[in-house]
Amino acid sequence: MSINVYEKRYLITVSVLVGLMLTLIVGSFVLLNIYPPSNSGETIDSTRLHLSEEFAESNLGARTNPDGTVTVRLVMAKYLVHPQEFTIPADVQVTFRIATPDVVHGLNVPGTNINTMVVPGYVSQVRTQVVFPEVAKHGIRNPDGSVTVPLFCNEYCGYGHQSMWARVTVKPIR
């Protein structure tokens, strides 16, 4: 079997390019800790979600932890995001913890990498920081300088899917 000399050079070029892209991906995973939201150990009984302490209604929304980081707990259920509005700071570590009592939903905030599937049986978790200028491009500016962006359900969950969204207000750090 013989390979034409141009084809050989081309194949080497393609392989180097693929190698470079993979180096960037693996490098940002290993060195910068950037990876898709995985939470493989944490199962939850979605049919009894209302009886769990963490996802009881009074415990939902954004909470500031003693170390200054923020945890947001949400329940996504046909066809509402609970709670409907909450506020988070920019440039601070925010952890989203989300569960559903019914079907598969998704959650996405434009201008951020907050994006995860929300599946029955598991708690979804996203840990990230919101970059204010990026989120400001997609939101509505408020008089106090904060920005309100929509949070969409981004997986089809039934006839009311298009109505399933919430508002996130992001406060810049001064």
Partner 1 sequence: MTTNIAPAPSGRLVLAHVWVAFLLFGVALLLGVYQVLARDGVLGSHAASYYASTTLHGVVMGYALTIFFITGIGYAISERALGTRVWAPGLAWLCFWVMLAGTVLAALSILAGKASVLYTFYPPQMAHWSFYVGAALLVAGSIGWIVITLVMSAQWKGAHRGQNLPLAQFGMSICALVWAWTMVGVVLEVLLQLIPLAFGLTQSIDVNLARALFAWTLHPIVYFWLIPTYVFLYTIVPEEAGGYLFSDEMARVAFVMLLIFGLPIGMHHLYMDPPHSAGFKLLQGIGTFLVVIPTMLTGFTVWASLEISGRLRGGTGLFGWMRRLKWDDPVVLAGVMALFMLILGGFGGLVNAAYAQNAMVHNTQWVTAHFHYIFGGVAVTGYFGLAYYFWPRLTGRALWAPKLALAQIWLWIIGMNILSLPWHYVGLLGMPRRIAYYAYAPEIAAQWLPWTGIMIIGGVLLCLSGWLLLLILFLSGRTLPASSATMAGGFARPYEATAVLPRSLNGFALWNWLLLALMAMAWGYPIVQFFLVKQYPALPWGFS
**Cα angle, residue 49 at apex, residues 64 and 100 outer, rounded to 5°:** 80
Residue 46 sits at φ, ψ, to 5 deg, of: -65, -30
CB of 29 to partner 1, least distance (A): 6
Q: Which of residues 103-122 bind partner 1 (CB under 8 A)?
A: 103-104, 106, 108-111, 113-117, 119-122
Residue with smaller CB distance to partner 1, 39 or 95: 39
Q: Find the binder of partner 1 among 16, 25, 57, 64 (CB under 8 A).
A: 25
* Residue 66: CB minimum distance to partner 1, A: 26
Contact 59, 98 (CB under 8 A): no
What is the total residue count of the chain?
A: 174
**Count of positions on this chain that bind partner 1 (CB under 8 A):** 72
Site membership for partner 1, residue 62 (CB under 8 A): no
* Distance (Å, whole) CA 23 – CA 128: 22
Least separation in angstroms between CB 143 and partner 1: 15
Other Cβ atoms closer than 10 A to 108: 16
Residue 26 interacts with partner 1 (CB under 8 A): yes or no: yes
Strand 70-77 relative to strand 94-99, pairing: parallel
The answer to the question of residue 53 lying near partner 1 (CB under 8 A) is no
